[in-house]
Amino acid sequence: MAKVGIIMGSDSDLGVMKKAADMLDEFGIEYEMTIISAHRMPDIFYDYASKAEERGIEVIIAGAGGAAHLPGMCAALFDLPVIGVPIHTKSVGGVDSLYSIVQMPSGIPVATVAIDGAANAGILAAKILSVSDMKLREKLKAYKQGLKEKVSQKAEKLQKVGCDEYIKSM
């Protein structure tokens, strides 16, 4: 049964939101993914968000650009954590999306990641779920250790080959 719902307002957001799915796949977390618009299909959106918990969803990751109402509306209808992913927009670079998501009224919080930060949204969803899942928590610790090792390897390579050669190999 899916534990995370990944939703987006448009298929143009799919390239960004796939990064959340990739992270959930890495941690072995089941998810469902769909395109849903709070503005263009409010009845279907309302049904999705208000019944998500009944379907076993424990966290919703909602990506949205522009006015970016999708994450906030999810938080208004869904009693468990919602993570908003502001999507980069052509007009103002996603700052509009970021402000729309992060400026929620008191009582309706939405955790918000960086513009196009869906990978971090996937990791944050895993961290939320790991509160009650020790195996998942161990996977997260291993992932973090892997990040540390990658940076250490890069530092070692830089010291060994020097700046110019390192840049050429990138």
CA distance 85 to 102: 10
Residue 162: count of CB within 10 angstroms of its CB: 10
C-alpha–C-alpha distance, residues 30 and 3, integer Å: 6
pLDDT at 60 over 80: yes
pTM of the model: 0.94
Q: Is the pLDDT of residue 72 over 90?
A: yes
Q: What is the mean pLDDT of the chain?
A: 96
- Enumerate residues 6+ apart whose C-beta is below 8 A from 55: 1, 2
Average pLDDT over residues 51-63: 97
Strands 4-8 and 59-64: parallel
* Separation of alpha carbons 159 and 166, rounded Å: 9
- The predicted pLDDT at position 6 comes to 98
Matching residue, tokens 């959106």: 45
Element holding 119 (H helix, E strand)? helix 118-129
pLDDT digits (tens, 9 = 90+) for 83-136: 999 999 988 999 999 999 999 999 999 999 999 999 999 999 999 999 999 999
Tell me, what's the pLDDT at 67? 83
Using the predicted structure, report yes or no on whether residue 42 has a pLDDT greater than 90.
yes
Predicted local distance difference test score (pLDDT) of residue 66: 85
Residue 1 confidence (pLDDT) above 80: no
Here the tokens at position 33 are 């993914």
Q: Distance (Å, rounded) from C-alpha 133 to C-alpha 127?
A: 9
Percent with pLDDT over 90 in the chain = 94
Going from N- to C-terminal start, the domains of the chain cover: 4-132, 134-170
Q: What is the CATH number of domain 4-132?
A: 3.40.50.1970
